């Protein structure tokens, strides 16, 4: 917790939530994107449609899901469709306005790696993989990415292209036949970034309260570009902070409860 009364992670989540609107149809990634999307739903965007990869449409979870298969998503959804229908009709049909993704590795053009760190055949670390993210990255109308800054995560060259962003920059997406906008926003724990209109390289447009340009550069693996007029991100409001903290508290209590009941059941059955 900073002396400002909120953590960098809370600032990141709340800044990301503000980017969403009530009329958005948002394909939600698990983790930080899920927290941001649900804070938006619980504050300024109550009519937002949240869609998860398992086929749940219009879900309104009381707690954050552990995975796309979490029962909380299906129980609170308006409807649940099959995964093929979700991808073919909803996503590839152009009905998703925002794809909200996280990243293990990200480069300056918004290309994402969630597959391996190191050489593919002999990796240092094998990551969870792409899941539906490659299709989301190419078929959602635009992509938002949220992640904490580090030189390990924000790299000059990603080890594997899991989800295609702007490729080598410029009109690379268009040249290979992808007609959606691609990465349009990057929200980190230090700043808000937008792609340059021409080069498509992510550029800092807003620094979070108390964050310096030097801090942003120290935690980024490429030479950072800053917009001509860099803003300061508005600090979280009391309502935004309470909403996020209450959501996380409910989530922690629910998951602890589930773990506890599972352990008791196991000992009884054993």
> How far is Cα 93 from Cα 244, in angstroms, rounded to an integer?
32
Give strand pairing partners of 186.
145, 193
Q: Name the active-site residue from 10, 53, 135, 201.
A: 53
N- to C-terminal Cα separation, the chain? 43
Active site residue 53: yes
139, 92 Cβ separation under 8 angstroms: yes
With 0-12 CB in 10 A as exposed, 13-18 as middle and 19+ as buried, what is 15?
buried
Secondary structure of 102-126 in the HEC alphabet?
A: CCCEECCCCCEECCEEECCCCEEEE
The total number of residues shown for the chain amounts to: 270
> What are the C-alpha distances in Å from 133 to residues 30, 38, 165, 215?
11, 19, 11, 29
Residues with a known catalytic role: 53
């Amino acid at each position: 917790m900073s002396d400002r009364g909120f953590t960098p992670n809370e600032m990141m989540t709340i800044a990301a939530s503000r980017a969403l609107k009530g009329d958005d149809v948002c394909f939600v990634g698990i983790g930080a994107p899920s927290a941001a999307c649900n804070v938006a739903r619980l504050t300024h965007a109550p009519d937002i449609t949240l869609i998860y990869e398992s086929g749940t449409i219009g879900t309104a979870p009381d707690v954050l899901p552990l995975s796309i298969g979490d029962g909380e998503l299906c129980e609170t959804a308006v409807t649940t469709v099959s995964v093929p229908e979700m991808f073919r009709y909803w996503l590839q049909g152009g009905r998703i306005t925002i794809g909200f993704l996280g990243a293990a590795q990200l480069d300056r053009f918004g290309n994402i790696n969630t597959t391996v760190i190191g050489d593919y055949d002999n990796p240092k670390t094998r990551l969870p993989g792409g899941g539906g993210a490659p299709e989301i990255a190419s078929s959602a109308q635009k992509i938002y990415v949220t992640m904490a800054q580090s030189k390990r995560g924000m790299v000059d060259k990603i080890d594997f292209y899991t989800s295609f962003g702007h490729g080598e920059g410029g009109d690379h997406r268009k040249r290979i036949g992808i007609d959606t906008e691609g990465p349009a926003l990057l929200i980190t724990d230090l700043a808000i970034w937008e792609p340059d209109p021409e080069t498509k390289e992510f550029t800092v447009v807003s620094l979070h309260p108390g964050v310096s340009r030097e801090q942003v550069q120290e935690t980024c693996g490429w030479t950072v570009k800053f917009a001509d007029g860099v803003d300061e991100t508005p600090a979280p409001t009391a309502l935004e902070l309470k909403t996020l903290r209450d959501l996380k508290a409910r989530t922690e209590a629910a998951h602890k409860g589930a773990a506890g009941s599972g352990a008791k059941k196991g000992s009884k059955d054993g």
